[in-house]
Amino acid sequence: MLKKLKILYIFIPISLILFYLLQAPLASFLSSALAIIPLAALMSHLTDQIRHQLGSSWGGLINISFANATELIISLFAIYDGLFNVVKANITGSIIMNLLLVLGLSFFLGGLKYQRQEFDKLLAITNSVMLMLAVIGMLIPAIFYYGSAKIKTVILGRLSLGVGLVLFITYLAGLYFTLIFHEQEKEEGEAKRKGSAAVSGTGRTGPEKNKRGAKKSWPYSSSVWKKILFLFLTTILIALEAHILINSLSSVQEVFKISPVFIGVIILPLISNMAENLTAIKMARENKIDLSISIAVGSSIQVALFLVPLLIFISHLIKQPMNILFNILEISSIGLSVLAINIVYLQGKSNWFEGLQLIAAYLIIAIAFYFA
């Protein structure tokens, strides 16, 4: 995937020249958008390599930390410029795009090749509960705001911080369960199996011990530190391109006569998640539908439970406070997307027609946001 996108690296210097020297905002927006796509793919590739080298615990933590770094950087620049409607639209767009468009394309293209694909129902139920928590976290502040005529902006800000803190702690608890608690259970299970294998004379102790020892000595591995260095350099380049992208938004709105909400819901999520989306669809075509679901749904969960609280906390720190109040169309879109996915989840299997229906739902929402 990364090799196919390498040609887009040419747009990194082009975007810098267009924005800083030629001052062409529309061309800068298009070139920076194209430049972000391979950079996001490179970041995903580097985090995946680090994850394999460090093992599931440390590597998984780094992978999760950088999974939505592109969206985080774009949103931070938008918050700094006071474009809160764009930030909230970007969050909404990222969630519904992953749940409806990406998962829909995965089910559709995977179903055309394999007719029917089955996935882990227990994992699906766990994801459904996490998604419902995200919907509750976004719905309650809106009900509180629109249901009370006496609500004030200050109170809404405090409410947003409180809700954000609950979502953030829940997400951290999920990380602990996945990376520490569940990992310990797996290691104990492996130790028991190896013990029984050693008793029967079929155990392999030497290579496994060396392999485990290599993982523990990861801080001294030069290859790991090189990848981490490249990861931070990639992050800096993405931040630079995100700065160009956000500063060119006004020109795009004027030329194409589209609202900033539509740009946030449809265009920005497609740009920041292009590489990740293509990977999810590719996994479905290879009949790895569980991995495809983990990529799409996992990204939505991280955006809702980790990215949203983090943006709220940072916005208050930089004296540009953002609340968690989403408008009715945004909340409805997220809620209906989660409902649609949960209906599919209950079956534990998918086909091309269900994928087509999810794509159709996304297109209907996209049309609504175009005229919003």
SS (H, E, C) 223-254: HHHHHHHHHHHHHHHHHHHHHHHHHCHHHHHH
More confident of the two residues 61 and 54: 54
**Contact (CB, 8 A) for 325 and 91:** no
225 — pLDDT class (breaks 50, 70, 90): confident
- Which element (helix H / strand E) includes 116? strand 116-118
In 10 A of CB 51, how many CB atoms?
A: 18
More confident of the two residues 274 and 355: 355
The confidence score (pLDDT) of residue 12 equals 92
C-alpha span between 131 and 12 (Å, rounded)? 36
Q: What would the DSSP string read from start to end of 151-214?
A: --HHHHHHHHHHHHHHHHHHHHHHHHIIIIIHHHHHHHHHHHHHHHHHHTT----HHHHHHHHH
C-alpha span between 90 and 263 (Å, rounded)? 8
More confident of the two residues 254 and 317: 317
Query: Average pLDDT in the 305-317 region?
Result: 91
Ranges 102-116, 141-155, 165-179, 298-312: which has the least confidence: 141-155
Query: Average pLDDT in the 56-71 region?
Result: 65
Q: What would the DSSP string read from start to end of 288-354?
A: -HHHHHHHHHHHHHHIIIIIHHHHHHHHHHTT--------HHHHHHHHHHHHHHHHHHTTTEEEHHH
- For the segment 290-306, what is each residue's pLDDT rounded down to a tens digit? 888 888 888 888 888 88
Give yes or no for residue 247 having a pLDDT over 70. yes
Q: Give the closest residue to 105 by CA, choosing from 359, 363, 367.
A: 359
367 — pLDDT class (breaks 50, 70, 90): very high
Say how far residue 118 (Cα) sits from the centre of its chain.
Answer: 24
220 — pLDDT class (breaks 50, 70, 90): very low
Query: Average pLDDT in the 102-128 region?
Result: 84
**Contact (CB, 8 A) for 97 and 281:** no
- For the segment 263-287, what is each residue's pLDDT rounded down to a tens digit? 889 888 888 877 778 888 888 888 8
* Beta-ladder partners of 118: 349
C-alpha span between 162 and 168 (Å, rounded)? 10
- For the segment 11-32, what is each residue's pLDDT rounded down to a tens digit? 999 999 999 888 888 899 999 9
Q: Residue 116: what are its φ and ψ, rounded to 5°?
A: -135, 130
Would you list the domain boundaries of the chain? 2-197+219-370
**Contact (CB, 8 A) for 101 and 292:** no
- For the segment 65-90, what is each residue's pLDDT rounded down to a tens digit? 666 788 888 888 889 888 888 899 99
Out of 125-134, 190-199, 314-323, the most confident range is 314-323
The confidence score (pLDDT) of residue 201 equals 55
Q: What percent of the chain has pLDDT over 90?
A: 19
Task: Specify whether the backbone of 257 is left (phi greater than 0), alpha (psi in -120 to 50) or beta.
Answer: left
Residue with tokens 């009370």: 148
Give yes or no for residue 138 having a pLDDT over 60. yes
Token pair belonging to 15: 């975007």
Give the global pTM: 0.81
- For the segment 165-219, what is each residue's pLDDT rounded down to a tens digit? 999 898 888 777 766 665 666 666 666 776 666 655 554 444 444 444 444 444 5
The confidence score (pLDDT) of residue 205 equals 46
Ranges 110-114, 121-125, 365-369: which has the least confidence: 121-125
**Contact (CB, 8 A) for 43 and 16:** no
C-alpha span between 361 and 366 (Å, rounded)? 9
The confidence score (pLDDT) of residue 14 equals 94
* Beta-ladder partners of 117: 350
Q: Which residues contact 203 (CB under 8 A, 6 or more apart)?
A: 194, 195, 197
CATH architecture of 2-197+219-370: Up-down Bundle (1.20)
Residue with tokens 């109040």: 325
C-alpha span between 103 and 3 (Å, rounded)? 24
